[in-house]
A and B are shown apart, each in its own frame.
Chain A
Amino acid sequence: MIAVKQLSKTFTAKKKGGSGSSAQTVRAVDALDLTWEKDEFIAVVGESGCGKSTLGRILAGLIPPSQGSIELDNVPMSQVLSQRGRPWSRVVQLIPQDPYAAINPVRKIRSLFRDPLLYHHRVAKSQVDLRIEELLAMVGLDPKNVLDKYPHQLSGGQRQRVVVARAMTVDPGYLVADEAVSMVDVSLRIGIMDHLKKISTERQLGLLFITHDFRVARYIAQNGTIAVMYLGRVVEQGPSEEILGHPMHPYTQALLSAVPILEGREERVNDVVPLRYEVSAHGERGCAFASRCPFADQTCRETSPPLTIVQAPDHSVACHYAESRSVVIDRSQIS
């Protein structure tokens, strides 16, 4: 289990301008708590700028948190190497968003896999090629067709599969996939997600899938968890069908009602339109969503609501009025 406690990440941007230089601080992740079980699928949903990618990069050990801790089975991140004998990169692997930028364009696919396999001593030298073929087959690629090609000779979907396979070279226990299908054609997304789900299920990996798309989130976290992020915090979290069928936070409701629906196949539900389309930074006090929330009142602007369990067993919401505002979507009315 990976436990994230009170995790914060701030970025400081130097503001240059007339009145000297003053630093501007952006809180990308704000005192976030998260537990991630060993074989749990979590879909993190949010808009750009909500801190979901920053969270993913911190979890993958690519950037250090500003505050808070991350523990693997009660061992702090910094001591995992000495106590468990594996570097963090073998605990959590990141599948990056852009399969065009994530692969070195001047090296063949074969060498992309060789180096991590040999560096981390995953296989004997004589076995390398065999292992690479296994990895590629795992994501549904024919090794013969890709091994000796350069990245530019592959299609977007093939590249995304290569990136998924590469993350598996070091046998990680957890995978963080950051918008791993958003650059791929709609018709090919399901195929890649199916492979990702299959690999994770078979090896009992934890899968944290970062996305802005509720349809993708639902498909990945079918029996798992959905966490909705807004300005660095989780505002709502729970079993995926519970979140989709019974959203309680006004932001979740707004996001869900903004998903384009297939007219004629699906029906639109309760429209919740935020007051402003743009995300606006919030001050020290109050609920982060208050400035856009159509239901906000004085309490919302003054006190920040904590993430609390509202609906047993584990549907938690950070909203003062979660229960009174909750909307039950009646499944029987949806054809």
Chain B
Amino acid sequence: MFPSEVGTLKAVEDVSFVVHAGESIGIVGESGSGKSTVAFALFDSVPAPGEIAQGEIHYFGQSNFLQWPESKQREVFWQKVAMVFQAAQNTLNPLLRIRQQILDIADAHDMDGTRILRTARDLCTTMYLDPDRALNAYPHELSGGMKQRVSIALALLLNPALVVLDEPTTALDVISQASVLRILNDVRKSRQLSLVFITHDVSVVSEIVDRVIVMYAGRIVETGPVRQVIQQPKHPYTRGLLGSIPPLRGDLSQTRALSGQPANLLHLPAGCPFQDRCPDRFERCTVETPVIVKDPASHREVACHLFHPETEERAQ
């Protein structure tokens, strides 16, 4: 929750998900959907004046992480769970060579500098970076794509089991983006890494995640295996979002803008938050907020009054 002058803003409400070992999930939503807030919450570092009002986070079957003392939380960061921030290229210290920043990390975690540098060199090679050049460079000497790959290498430095990436390719060119996605996919497979990949661009997510979570106005509106969701979106928002992406080939005439403005979190209507933009709205949507319903057969969950798992099954 973010208190503000015009009332308290609920950036995220009732969001629950599980990431299994080696699994990669994508969180997709437009600006203001709460996706970055979820990322910050995973590290108990929602920017002030925001606060986590409710909820629990359990890492690796342990107790609620949010209630741990800070010193204990710190032990988890980077060693178990790491984050690559939005515009990660700007998170590098501009005044220090990459090598020094790596040694600082070693220092902070009481680790042997020489050994960590060796790991870093290996990681650079995995990231298609020349280790000598990358480690001895100041951030400004590297291109955007290289910096982004350096920040991903830093996140992997202490061999975490889970990496959270917030819009890691948004600031990159297509070719750099393709390279980062390819590398992430390789690394994920070779290290059995779990990924949480946060982005506004569904097409980016479709190449790298197993399962996708679509968020709207701070809530989960649809989840499911990524291919299924893209092929047959069930929630009107997911449908609209996918329909607003112009295809590279074939029919363009079906491409349509999602009507209306993104939801204003300070003035959410009663009922479904998507109702103002929804082409399928009916009476119930204006009074009752749809809860997320799970279809056990397809492992899909949808928060829409029009979603009925039983009939879906029959229809298929």
Contacts and interface: CB of A to CB of B under 8 A. Distances in A.
Given A157-B261, A254-B175, A264-B231, A218 B246 contact: yes
Contact of A262 (B178, B245, B256, B261): B245
Interface in B235-262: 240-242, 244-250, 252, 255-259, 261-262
Nearest to B200: A186
Interface in A50-69: none
A78 interface: no
Most B Cβ at <10 Å: residue of A48, A156, A185, A260: A260
A219 B244 CA distance: 11
Contacts of B178: 257-258, 260
Contacts of A263: 206-207, 226-227, 230
Interface string B74-115: 000000000000000000000000000000000000000000
A259 B175 CA distance: 8
Contacts of B179: 277
A185 B174 CA distance: 18
Interface in A201-231: 212-216, 218-219, 222
A48 B175 CA distance: 11
A274 B203 CA distance: 21
Contact of A219 (B226, B240, B246): B246
Contacts of B203: 259-262
A190 interface: yes
A334 interface: yes
Nearest to A261: B203
Nearest to A278: B143
Indicate the size class of the contact surface on chain A: 35 or more
Given A260-B203, A264-B230, A215 B145 contact: no
B257 A277 contact: no
Given A215-B245, A277-B179, A260 B201 contact: yes
A256 B248 CA distance: 9
A188 B246 contact: no
Contacts of A274: 175
Nearest to A251: B175
B257 A222 contact: no
B173 A262 contact: no
A194 interface: yes
Contacts of A216: 246
Nearest to A268: B207
Contacts of B207: 260-261, 263
A255 interface: yes
B31 interface: yes
B176 interface: yes
B249 A334 contact: yes
Interface string A264-290: 111000000010011100000000000
B181 interface: yes
B177 interface: yes
Nearest to A215: B246
Interface in B258-308: 258-259, 261-262
Interface in B166-205: 173-179, 181, 200-204
A244 B144 CA distance: 27
A180 to B, nearest CB: 15
B228 interface: yes
B68 interface: no
Contacts of A215: 245-248
A214 B177 CA distance: 14
A255 B244 CA distance: 21
Given A187-B241, A262-B202, A277 B255 contact: no
Interface in A156-183: 156-158
Interface residues of B, number: 45
Contacts of B204: 260
B30 interface: yes
A260 B181 contact: yes
A331 interface: yes
B257 A188 contact: yes
B150 to A, nearest CB: 13
Contact of A266 (B249, B258, B262): B249
A260 B206 contact: yes
Contacts of B257: 187-191, 194
A212 B174 contact: yes
Nearest to A217: B246
Contacts of A156: 31
B72 to A, nearest CB: 38
B10 to A, nearest CB: 19
A155 interface: yes
A258 B177 contact: yes
A60 B83 CA distance: 42
B73 to A, nearest CB: 33
A190 B246 contact: yes
Given A187-B240, A261-B207, A274-B175, 5 more contacts: A187-B257, A214-B174, A245-B249, A263-B227, A277-B175
Interface of B: 30-31, 128, 143-146, 173-179, 181, 200-204, 206-207, 226-228, 230-231, 240-242, 244-250, 252, 255-259, 261-262
Which 8 pairs across A and B sit closest by C-beta, in order of nearness?
A191-B257, A258-B178, A190-B257, A187-B258, A263-B206, A219-B246, A264-B227, A47-B173
21 contacts: A155-B262, A157-B262, A185-B200, A186-B244, A187-B30, A187-B240, A213-B174, A215-B247, A219-B252, A222-B252, A255-B174, A259-B248, A261-B206, A261-B248, A262-B202, A262-B230, A262-B242, A262-B247, A264-B206, A277-B128, A278-B176
